[in-house]
Amino acid sequence: MKTSIAKHILVAAAAGLISFSAVAQEKATSLDDLLKMVRQSKIAESQEHKQREAEFRRQKANQQALLNRAKNIRTAEENRSAELEKRYQEQEAAVDQKRQQLDERLGSLRELFGHMSSTAADLRASIDSSLVSAQYSGRTEFIDGLLAKMNTATKLPTIAEIERLWFEIQRETVESGKVVKFNTTVIKPNGEQTQQEIVRVGNFNLVSNGKYLEMNDAYKVAELIRQPDAKFQKMAENLQVSTAGFSAFGIDPTGPTGGSYLKAMINSPDLIERWHQGKIVGYIITAVGAFAMLLAIFRLVVLFGVGAKVNAQLRSATPNTNNPLGRVLAVAEENKGVDGETLELKMEEAVLKERPAIESGLNLLKIIAMVAPLLGLLGTVTGMIITFQAITIFGAGDPRAMAGGISSALITTVLGLCVAIPTVLMHTIVNGRAKRILHILEEQSAGIVAENAERK
């Protein structure tokens, strides 16, 4: 019996020891100590539960207080919102009344201010592209401030601002017709900034030291990367050093609208740049054309020399083997005693021997004249393929870029025609000289055969 009671006590003690590690860490030396430790653990557990219940009641009371406070704040804000809405309606009615009063007092001035606003906007757009802004800066700030004021319903322009607007309009008109000099900073193509004297020709062009200038969006003056022809630069230089009288000068007529004509003209590629646009196919066409011209010139020189020797042989009765006709006549001399048919065959054979040397290079010139346009077409087709591939990748949003690619692709066609046309002409000339010499050989051989037949 005692053993069973001891077992139950040990189980209860073990449960109490698991819940409270601090008590469980102590070791019982007897059953009384173990019972005492179990009782202490139950007492500690009861105290902890009471503390938790007290903490919960305290937090519940705090939460109720916070809830009541939030309800009070909501009620106060709702009352404040109703008050503000009422005040807003009252002020809106007062604003409408003031607007009506303003409209009544403005009367016809409203139409005047409307025209002023439109005029100021037009002047602002004109100033953006006007070369006068390179000399007189700060005009845009005034116009922007005036437009901002006139676009509000609570501010009106002052008499001074109206007078200045009129002054700026007049100054833009007057300065557009003047040729003046002034000093400002010029941005070089390499990024260097220098202080230079600039000549402004109305609202058309800016020049300095013989160079044409442009004005960027920040009203900064920069030297054009590419300049017009040397004669126009010389005119600009003469204009800057002149003090009176008239001076010839190349004016861009599109200057007041941004100088698009001058930019397009100087940005147009020259012949060398266009030639490079043909790339490898263009280089091949050029090489073939140069070879054709050299060959044609060489053959012309040779045929002129042969023709001179043949003409000299026509005036001489003694055959000379330094020319085709002399060699043909020498064959006739060697075969005087033969019959007519044999002599005719001998003469035809002699003429046939001379024909390849006389007609040398003619077939090659003809082939070049036929192949050059085909090479040009090949370059154009490959260039168009590259252009359309770029359009596929980047899109066709910029028509100028697409037109530039097509223009570059057509360069090879132009090069092919430029080679083919003169090659055909040179082939015709060379062929004519060769045929003239061959005609003389055939004529003389036929005459010799006819004389031999008459003697028989």
Closest CA to 125 of 135, 145, 140, 113: 140
Query: What is the per-residue DSSP string for 110-138?
Result: HHHHHHHHHHHHHHHHHHHH-GGGGTS-S
Q: Which residues are CB-contacts of 84 (< 8 A; sequence separation ≥ 6)?
A: none
Q: Distance between alpha carbon 220 and the CA centroid of its chain, in Å?
A: 22
d(CA 173, CA 383): 49
d(CA 285, CA 417): 10
Give residue 383's pLDDT.
84
Bin 143: left if φ > 0, else alpha if -120 < ψ < 50, else beta.
alpha
Q: For the chain, which ranges sit under pLDDT 50?
A: 1-25
Neighbours of 216 (CB within 10 A): 10
* Single pTM value for the model: 0.54
Give residue 17's pLDDT.
40
Give residue 435's pLDDT.
92
